[in-house]
A and B are shown apart, each in its own frame.
Chain A
């Protein structure tokens, strides 16, 4: 069974700090990786996508992918209280927009 694993948290960081969110996946054939942000009671919102090994930066967000270790992470710099949400890692499985989601990591940014 193809799995995506995340620590459920909560992960608490002070405002202005770097938040580091991690995700591992079981399917070595996965090619596409995504991070979604989900506020309570709302639907997920795409933050980052990454397709090749290394780092990809977009504003305060950096996604990191290591296919050899089957590991993908999300760094949030200068964390703000508005970043407090659940972050879902998603991995493509089988192509055609079919994604498997992790259970999410709850992030709390404290004043």
Chain B
């Protein structure tokens, strides 16, 4: 399966600051990457689909101006949480899809804590 690197693994920040999370596909070129969010004891919720060279597609209820996604190359997608607030504290996970069989492979995740 695909090897996905995500950085940082943990972030603690003050309310009102912005946080950038990087997701890299290490072993193949990914035209599409996915960003999920997981609150404690809950399932993964798809936030947005990151498309290389074009705008991201956001799921209903996800604020595109708050969660900025950039997919400038075939191996890198970034998620920036702007003006973070305590309610944004969550586990953010990126994933890469294996074309043709719909399998998803996940990065190691980023635990964001906003104080």
Report A's interface with B, CB cutoff 8 A. Answer: 4, 8, 32, 34, 41-46, 49, 51, 88, 90, 92, 95-104
Structural contact, A43 and B107, CB atoms closer than 8 A = yes
Smallest CB separation, A20 vs chain B (Å): 20
Contact of A98 among B1, B44, B49, B109 (CB under 8 A): B49
Candidate in B43, B46, B95 with the most chain A CB atoms within 10 angstroms: B43
CB-defined contacts of A4 to chain B, threshold 8 Å: 43
In the assembled complex, the Cα of A34 lies from the Cα of B111 at a distance in Å of 24
**A42-B108, A43-B108, A97-B34 given as contacts; is B43 within 8 A of A104 (CB)?**
yes
By DSSP majority rule, is chain B's interface helix, strand, loop, or mixed? strand
**A41-B111, A96-B32, A97-B32 given as contacts; is B103 within 8 A of A46 (CB)?**
yes
Interface range on chain B (Cβ under 8 Å from partner):
20 to 34
CB-defined contacts of B98 to chain A, threshold 8 Å: 97
Q: Is B54 an interface residue (CB 8 A)?
A: no
Smallest CB separation, A88 vs chain B (Å): 7
Report B's interface with A, CB cutoff 8 A. Answer: 1, 6, 32, 34, 41-46, 49, 93, 95, 97-99, 101-109, 111
CB-defined contacts of A97 to chain B, threshold 8 Å: 32, 34, 95, 97-99, 102-104
Task: List 27 A–B pairs whose Cβ atoms lie within 8 Å, in order of A's numbering.
Answer: A8-B41, A32-B102, A41-B111, A43-B6, A43-B93, A43-B106, A43-B109, A44-B44, A44-B106, A46-B1, A46-B105, A49-B101, A51-B101, A88-B44, A90-B104, A92-B102, A96-B32, A96-B97, A97-B32, A97-B102, A97-B103, A98-B34, A98-B46, A99-B102, A101-B44, A101-B45, A102-B43
In the assembled complex, the Cα of A95 lies from the Cα of B105 at a distance in Å of 16
CB-defined contacts of A100 to chain B, threshold 8 Å: 46
